[in-house]
Structure 1
Amino acid sequence: MTLLLPQLNHIHKPPLVVPYRNLRKPYRLPVISAVSGKDLIISGKVRAVEPKEAKTVLATEGYVVLDVRPVWEREKSRVKGSLHVPLFVEDPDNGLITLLKKWIHLGYIGLWTGQKFTMFNDEFNLQVVEAVPDKQSKVLVVCGEGLRSLMAISKLHGDGYKSLGWLTGGFNRATEGDFPDIEGPEELRFATIGGASYYLLKLLVLLQSFGKEKENR
């Protein structure tokens, strides 16, 4: 047995050790962080447009309106001639987990606001490019409250659109006459509101109008 040991030692050599300096470092993809819509507004890279300025801006500066609201909000009220690419779409998934989420959403949010269970529109950027192929175009991005349009301008700015405008506060702050032509059965400021909150708001508006009429008598 002792005569075989040298042969075994010769066969089972220790593994080759490669110096660390010769090892290639693993390649990592660069991390690209999108600038938030809020930062774009603060820096001035995206123009903030007040609803009361919208009519003049559209008429004299060549902006087109890009409505990023879901289709059920747009059906209630919209700016005539505006483009429509929703940032969120209705979630069609009927899996058990999603159905549970939808049920909770309906109980806590849907009945009150009338909003449906949604998901991100994965083709948002592609659909905007189809609607506005010239990325030098002046585009006023709008939604109901101003939050979804903030998200949209971040995505669009990262995709190369550099002449963007943002409607401050969204259509909720718009009043009659802020936009040239409106289509749909509702006022722009009410289009985002649905469910029980819609009827409560209508009641408050009616009571407010009744109070003003009583004061004027």
Structure 2
Amino acid sequence: MTLLIPQPNHIHKPPVVPYRRLRKPYRFPVIFAVSGKQLILSGKVRAVEPKEAKTVVASEGYVLLDVRPNWEREKARVKGSLHVPLFVEDTDNGPITLLKKWIHLGYIGLWTGQRFTMFNDKFTLRVVEAVPDKESKVLVACGEGLRSLVAVSKLDGEGYKSLGWLTGGFNRATEGDFPEIEGTEELRFATIGGASYYFLKLLVLLQSFGQNSKE
């Protein structure tokens, strides 16, 4: 005799969702930074010291691409440089974003003066519009060199063949490294803001006072 076990008329099964749908089409900037560093170590992207920048731009025909956000560039910029920000200010005022902005302000913003940003999803599009020839020489620069690593990786993926990376960013630039600077600050201090800016000004003042006292 066969034992018959009654079965429910409808058995609920969770819907099968393709794995691709669960993945977001977004990769963290740190991944691109690592990729950019690998491109430099392999020699595919040229590392350019700030003291070499004037020659590279003036004599070798490199386009200087500044990827800093607007508020840094307004303080100081190389005259004639191309500007396409890699990150832009996040203007969303939803409750979750506002909470993130508040945390950012407390931990980072008050000290550095940096605003809460989001990735500029039109970055490569704007660069291609400005420099359509992908054989062009492009020297990518930011404040400290990290954001420009991300930008280098993105542009390499877009097909640019002759990329350069400003080692250490504008923060390592000294007077004379670039032909002409516009703005109200020294180029190397443009990234610094918030409380750290006034702390730096105090250190510079004390250093100057100490030198004058010795004289």
Per the alignment, residue 206 of structure 1 pairs with 205
Per the alignment, residue 9 of structure 1 pairs with none
**1:169 and 1:105 mapped to 2: Cα distance?**
24
**1:162 and 1:203 mapped to 2: Cα distance?**
44
Indicate the SS of the match to 1:66. Answer: strand
Kindly tell me the number of residue pairs found equivalent between the two proteins.
186
Per the alignment, residue 126 of structure 1 pairs with 125
Q: Letter of the 2:72 partner, please give it.
A: E
Q: Letter of the 2:141 partner, please give it.
A: V
* Residues 151-198 of structure 1 deviation map (CA, whole Å, 9 limit, x = unaligned): 000000011001000000001000111000100001111100000000
**1:200 and 1:101 mapped to 2: Cα distance?**
26
Indicate the SS of the match to 2:177. Answer: coil
**1:102 and 1:158 mapped to 2: Cα distance?**
31
**2:196 and 2:147 mapped to 1: Cα distance?**
20
**1:210 and 1:50 mapped to 2: Cα distance?**
31
Equivalent positions of 1:95-110 (< 5 A) are: 95-110=94-109
Per the alignment, residue 59 of structure 1 pairs with 58
**1:112 and 1:94 mapped to 2: Cα distance?**
22
What is the RMSD computed on CA atoms of the aligned residues?
1.5
Structure with bigger gyration radius = 1
**1:149 and 1:41 mapped to 2: Cα distance?**
12
**1:203 and 1:129 mapped to 2: Cα distance?**
42
* Residues 119-143 of structure 1 deviation map (CA, whole Å, 9 limit, x = unaligned): 0000111010001111111001000
Query: What TM-score do you get using the length of structure 2 for normalisation?
Result: 0.83
Per the alignment, residue 12 of structure 2 pairs with none
Give % identity.
84
**1:171 and 1:190 mapped to 2: Cα distance?**
8
Indicate the SS of the match to 1:214. Answer: helix
Unpaired stretches in structure 2, ≥5 consecutive residues:
1-17, 21-30
Equivalent positions of 1:60-209 (< 5 A) are: 60-209=59-208
**1:191 and 1:156 mapped to 2: Cα distance?**
24
Indicate the SS of the match to 1:116. Answer: coil
**1:43 and 1:212 mapped to 2: Cα distance?**
44
Moved more, 157-166 or 202-211: 202-211
Q: Letter of the 1:126 partner, please give it.
A: L
* Residues 64-100 of structure 1 deviation map (CA, whole Å, 9 limit, x = unaligned): 1000000010000000000010000000111101000
Q: Letter of the 2:48 partner, please give it.
A: V
CA shift, 1:212, in A, is 2.3
CA shift, 1:48, in A, is 0.5
